[in-house]
Structure 1
């Protein structure tokens, strides 16, 4: 019996579509037990307690990849991430499923192999990579292999997630994106990604706000999120360092100076005037990524 703890992530990060992501100290936890036969699942919504559960499906895919015939499995979930909220919930399930099966097979996959497999399943590496290795990462996929570098963010920056009560599926959010873009928009985003990485590393507060701009995905998704334009305009006119759509949304991520509580209070008051029941969640960066620990029956939550 063991526990897998996977951190939340914020992907895309402004202009960094499918490339930039950062892990936070907000977790989905999964207890895995091998039983004699069958499949049991506890701790999640009833609609996910079946063989279509994403964690279980990824376990079966991994067993197939490794050529192993599984015995029975019991899964227990304790999830703090909103489903379809833009904080990497699906990536935690993908990594949990692959990791659970790998551990039950004797821990035969390397971290790089886990990463490659997870990114192929997810289709892009910006959520999976920071969830696996922690911190902020820039990652790309090339011929089935994921390459990444960790990015040391300046210590003077904090992240605040603005989370509404409604959900937005990744499929719906992807469907509004164009199949082709103007050449100048591609050049624009290359420049913004370069500036954002440098600004976050160097603590260039003015550069961060400018570099959160994007022409590849955020402009197309605004219509899917009620009050998105109002919120981002308010943040851009404030003392905040930057604002961007987290993942596919609907969560909006705000970056502030660590000691800037004044802007945070103003933002709270502003959100109360809007529909959507927006919640503000202060987040710390998780530098470790996925964690696995053995358990005894007395350790279960």
Structure 2
């Protein structure tokens, strides 16, 4: 069987911990019956032996598999990772979602996506990454009574994601420590109004409105100070035709959205300006987690 989960970009500027979307690069795992446990890893993280020895996927998979099955079976896990590690593109959420989905699928137990999402919540208590990882598309989500409440919207094919991945990471844990303990009423109102407008723009497909709605006062400027070049990446992206340009998750990746017709020029301009960073264009993913048996 094969399970794949797309990359995600969370927050999207003002939607701190509640907005996210799925991008069509993925991590996938192929699971085969085996006489003994084995792991192979290709792509992102392949040169990191610790990922084989201390594999979060295996740990979560075993938690669920041992509860679902009375059988003692061994498997070979073949990982092919496209999502950069620790760059704000949802690599941890991809691991969590794929591990839970795999444990159910290997036992032939149907798992509805809503249930999968809420099981994943136990490992990732912010719904902005796990919701698009499961559902695909654009998502606005919150947690209420230990359940994710969300609305999902497909993203049209005439839009592209232009991604800038810096050559170093920003720790999510350390990144959260840079945020203020208190915010002014003005900053709170700013983000409520802009995240509301951003959500409405996605739902109405009013893409020009993203140029006005995607700004933030709660987290981006504090996190981006750890890597000041990101301010220039954001400024360049908006100048070169991006509809919006936001820190992806806690960083260090910068996510931009553009019309498909503008994406090549935007990618070219960013590559010229930031040759030491990885820059590429991707489609959006409207499916989320996929299981093939």
TM-score between both structures, scaled by the size of structure 2: 0.90
Tell me how far 1:67 sits from its aligned partner. 7.3
Aligned equivalent of 2:140: 138
Residues 1:64 and 1:226: Cα distance change in structure 2 (over 3 Å): farther
- Matched with 1:299 is none
With 227-236 and 105-114 compared, the bigger mean Cα shift is at 105-114
Q: Which runs of 5+ in 1 are unaligned?
A: 295-301
- Kept in 2, the 8 Å contact 1:68–1:105? The answer is no
- Tell me the residue number matched to 2:4: 5
**2:234 alignment partner, one of 232, 242, 247:** 232
Partners in 2 of 1:68 and 1:182 — Cα distance? Answer: 54
CA–CA separation in structure 2 for the residues paired with 1:80 and 1:153: 21
- Which of 125, 128, 143 is the matching residue for 2:127? 125
Q: Taking structure 1 as reference, are residues 70 and 228 closer, same or farther at Cα in structure 2, changes over 3 Å only? A: farther
Distance 1:58 1:180 in 2: 35
Looking at structure 1, the residues matched to 267 and 108 of structure 2 have their Cα atoms a distance apart, in angstroms, of 47
SS in 2 for 1:194: helix
For residues 129-174 of structure 1, give each alpha carbon's deviation from its aligned partner in whole angstroms, at most 9, with x where no partner exists: 1111111111111121111111244554321001112122222222
Where does 1:68-147 land on structure 2 (aligned, <5 Å)?
70-147=72-149
Pick closer, same or farther for the CA change 1:269–1:82 going to 2, 3 Å. same
Partner of 2:65: 63
How far is 1:61 from its partner? 2.6
CA distance in 1 between counterparts of 2:265 and 2:152 reads 31
Greater displacement, 209-218 / 196-205: 196-205
1:245 Cα offset (Å): 0.3
Residue of structure 2 in register with 1:285 after alignment: 284
Count of residues paired in the alignment: 287
1:186 alignment partner in structure 2: 188
Show the counterpart of 2:268.
265
Which residue does 1:41 correspond to in 2?
39
Counterparts of 1:186 and 1:100, CA distance in 2 = 40
Q: From the superposition, tell whether residues 67 and 185 of structure 1 become closer, same or farther in structure 2 (CA, over 3 Å).
A: farther
- Return the alpha-carbon distance in structure 2 between the equivalents of residues 139 and 65 of structure 1: 29
CA contact (8 A) 2:128 2:140 kept: yes
**8 Å Cα contact 1:34/1:72 also seen in 2:** yes
Question: Equivalent residue for 1:220?
Answer: 222
Residue in 1 aligned with 2:29? 30
Distance 1:69 1:225, change over 3 A: farther
Runs (5+) with no aligned partner, structure 2: none
| Residue 197 to residue 97, structure 1, CA distance change in 2 (3 Å) | same
Does the 8 Å CA contact 2:243/2:257 hold for their aligned counterparts? yes
Distance 1:82 1:54, change over 3 A: same
How much has 1:105 moved relative to structure 2?
3.1
TM, length-normalised to structure 1:
0.88
**Aligned equivalents of 2:156, 2:182: Cα separation in 1:** 35
The separation in 1 between residues aligned to 2:158 and 2:113, in whole angstroms, is 31
Question: Structure 1 residues 240, 108: closer, same or farther in 2, change over 3 A?
Answer: closer
Question: C-alpha distance in 1, partners of 2:230/2:261?
Answer: 25
